[in-house]
Amino acid sequence: MTTRQGRTGSLHVTVLVFPGVRLLDVTGPIEVFTSANEFGGHYVLSLVSADGGEVTTASGTRLGVDTAADEAHGPIDVLVVPGGPAWDRLVKDDELLDHVRTLHARSRRTASVCTGAFLLAAAGLLDGRRATTHWRNTRELGLRYPAVQVEPDAIFVQDGTVVTSAGVSAGIDLSLALVEEDYGGEVARSVAKDLVVFMQRPGGQSQFSARTRPPHTRRDSLRRVLDAVAADPGADHTLSAMARRASISPRHVTRLFCDEVGLTPARYVEQVRLEAAVALLEGGDDPLAAVARRTGFGSPESLRRAFVRHLGVTPGAYRAGFRTTGAVHALS
């Protein structure tokens, strides 16, 4: 089968692995490219490590390796750089970063999975590019590498020849996109159905992120306001109500928020209300109208608009996706 780029031969996929690599970051993409071969694709896969020896993944499972990184030669069509929980240590491993750079130089496209984005960033490959990583680490990526334009909600982001993906299973989504680019939608769709995954997920990765922690502040007036919002997100938290509570002017409230929280008072209140609604939807059976009322959204329609704007899905779809696996009663 000829690729959309007009290629007829094999496409070479190289996965760079290392001790402590996250297992599913590696095996999700491998399964996608292998499955594509059942539907007309011609991917040839190889795993490379620094010394060519097998690696023990973060889960303890050991993966066989085909070649040492500096013994691998020839052009690469897709270089996959997975992540691992110890990314913090990995970005100081100069030998590993050298391998990333050398392999990238031979690659038509370089793709990171999860915290693999930190390896690309540390190797200088994300400077000036848009990129994403696991939702838990998007903030850290931007702080450490200010030249990277982080997209915190994306499942994957392509910028030129570099593609970065969100956490763990998003490596499957990213690989499907590369298959679609190489062999078209019909092949990618066959792979998605073979693996029993969607081609495109409802909503972005924000719906998977955990609660944000309450902001720290030593200003008593701001502290009182933040505590009041946390204690009862559904109460009156207009700017004037906040100002009365803190015994300062509305203008001063706004300034304190911008300086210490980094959000306007209204944005902050909406965020806390959204998180309260998320918790109620995940944990309980309250009707949407009750959730909307208790969390200060007022109407189900306002709740719906906030969910779609921030999470890309409706409250009902969110509840269906996250309340339970649906098996608790059946299983016990």
| Active-site amino acid positions | 114
Could you tell me the smallest distance in angstroms from the CB atom of residue 75 to its own copies?
18
Select from 101, 251, 267, 323 the one that contacts its own copies (CB under 8 A).
323
Measured CA to CA, the distance from residue 174 to residue 28 in angstroms comes to: 10
Q: Binding segment for its own copies among 180-188, 225-233, 234-242, 303-311 (CB under 8 A)?
A: 180-188
Q: CA–CA separation, 181 vs 109, rounded Å?
A: 11
State which of residues 68, 86, 199, 308 lies at the interface with its own copies (CB under 8 A): 199
Q: Which burial class, exposed, middle or buried, applies to 4 when counting CB atoms under 10 A from its CB (0-12, 13-18, 19+)?
A: exposed
Residue ranges in the chain assigned as alpha helix (H): 23-37, 87-90, 94-105, 116-122, 138-144, 170-183, 185-195, 220-231, 239-246, 250-260, 265-283, 288-294, 300-311, 315-322, 328-331
Interaction pattern, residues 112-141, with its own copies; x per rule: CB under 8 A: ----------------------xxx-----
Q: Which of 53, 64, 214, 262 is close enough to bind its own copies by CB under 8 A?
A: 64
Give the residue with the Cβ less far from its own copies, 25 or 226: 25
Interface residue with its own copies among 23, 69, 97, 280 (CB under 8 A) is 23
Nearer to its own copies, 54 or 236 (CB): 54
Of positions 68, 195, 239, 308, contacts its own copies by CB under 8 A: 195
Q: CB of 18 within 8 A of CB of 90?
A: yes
Q: Does 286 bind its own copies (CB under 8 A)?
A: no
Give CA separation, 261 vs 195, 198, 273, 276, in Å.
43, 37, 16, 18
User: Which region, judged by CB under 8 A, interacts with its own copies, from 96-104, 150-158, 217-225, 285-293?
Assistant: 150-158
Does residue 6 interact with its own copies by CB under 8 A?
Answer: no
CA-CA distance, 18 to 22, in Å (whole number)?
9
Please tell me the count of residues contacting its own copies according to CB under 8 A.
73
Which 158-177 residues touch its own copies, going by CB under 8 A? 158, 163, 166-170, 172-173, 176-177
Is 215 a binder of its own copies (CB under 8 A)?
A: no
Strands 149-150 and 62-63: unpaired
